[in-house]
Structure 1
Amino acid sequence: MNDTLVTVVGNVATSVEYRETPTGGVARFRFAATARRWDRERSVWTDGPTSFYTVSAWRQLAANLAASVAVGEPLVVHGRLRVREEAPGDGQGQRRTFVDIDALAVGHDLARGTSAFRRGGKRGPEQAMTEGPDGVPMRTPELVGT
């Protein structure tokens, strides 16, 4: 296996879009990662450039993402890196490069906050409870294209 595996720390940039497919559910969202460095001269943290990725997840991971993740939340995403180039639709202009991550594991970044884990069942996000067993409200995902 020659896949390039990456682990990226950043924030959710768009809502998670969830769809059912013949092979199971798929979730997609945009993810932003900004490098930070300590500026010794000014004694402050400085933001570097922001990299954006399209993250895709399949089956149970997709359903769990759709039920658990919202825009702005800090995540750690681990998965296969995919780089692709596309020409513009009109045949004019320069080719564009896109960087995608096929997620294998995703979790909240606990260095920046707390999280409460609830073991999920074998159900899709459309069947997710609006209230967890401990009385804590759970997010209800948005279904796209249904």
Structure 2
Amino acid sequence: MNETVLCVVGNVATRPVYRELPSGPSARFRLAVTARYWDREKSLWTDGHTNFFTVWANRQLAVNVAASVEVGQPLVVQGRLKVRTEAREGQQAWASADIDAVTIGHDLTRGTAAFRRAAKPETPPRPAARPEPQWETPPTEPEADAPDQQDAPAVLVT
């Protein structure tokens, strides 16, 4: 399957929205990505066009986004690009560029961050261990009336 994987650097434009869904935690926010270029005539950096992406995070990444990301922060987002188009009756058709995030981090070229490991989710308790079965064969006592069976193979009947 061919997917468009991209890495974008931008600023958080909207407050992350966190939801608990039947499939697990989910979070989304908008990211503004502005191209910058060097203007030789003015001898300074100039802002170009700004693209807005809806970033979707799932499972533990969603939980960490809700705890760590705020409006205005610079982020680096890597994930799969999904372009959606939709037309509703009586409305103009629209398109949305979404990123299904694989990883999200703060852009440390523009600030500092204090990393904290996320608490591992609680694992359900394991069932009590069953005792190990007795695998050894009990020794047999020779019967008085039986012939000598030292050379005969042993057969265990349970």
In structure 1, the partner of 2:23 is 23
Q: What secondary structure, in the 3-state scheme, does the structure 2 residue paired with 1:102 have? A: strand
Question: Per-residue displacement from partner, 1:40-81 (whole Å, max 9, x unpaired)?
Answer: 111111100100000000000000000000000000000000
Q: Which moved more, 1:113-122 or 1:26-35?
A: 113-122
In structure 1, the partner of 2:94 is 96
Gaps of 5+ in 1: 124-146
Identical columns (%): 63
Quote the RMSD (CA, aligned, Å). 1.1
> How far is the alpha carbon of 1:97 from its aligned partner?
1.2
> How far is the alpha carbon of 1:88 from its aligned partner?
3.0
Tell whether the 8 Å contact from 1:60 to 1:122 is kept in structure 2 after alignment. no
Q: What secondary structure, in the 3-state scheme, does the structure 2 residue paired with 1:66 have? A: helix
In structure 1, the partner of 2:3 is 3
For the pair shown, which has the larger CA radius of gyration, 1 or 2? 2
**Whole-angstrom distance in 1 between the partners of 2:12 and 2:35:** 15
**1:122 paired residue among 120, 126, 133:** 120
**Whole-angstrom distance in 2 between the partners of 1:74 and 1:101:** 16
**Whole-angstrom distance in 2 between the partners of 1:50 and 1:56:** 19
TM-score normalised over the length of structure 2: 0.74
**Whole-angstrom distance in 1 between the partners of 2:84 and 2:63:** 26
Question: Per-residue displacement from partner, 1:81-137 (whole Å, max 9, x unpaired)?
Answer: 0001110342x54x21110000000000011111111000135xxxxxxxxxxxxxx
In structure 1, the partner of 2:82 is 82
**2:103 paired residue among 88, 98, 105:** 105
Give the counterpart letter for 1:111 in structure 2.
Answer: T
Gaps of 5+ in 2: 122-158
| Deviant stretches of 4+, over 3 Å | none
TM-score normalised over the length of structure 1: 0.80
**Whole-angstrom distance in 1 between the partners of 2:18 and 2:10:** 20
Question: Per-residue displacement from partner, 1:4-35 (whole Å, max 9, x unpaired)?
Answer: 10000000000000000011100000000000
Structure with more relative contact order (C-alpha pairs < 8 Å, separation 6 or more)? 1
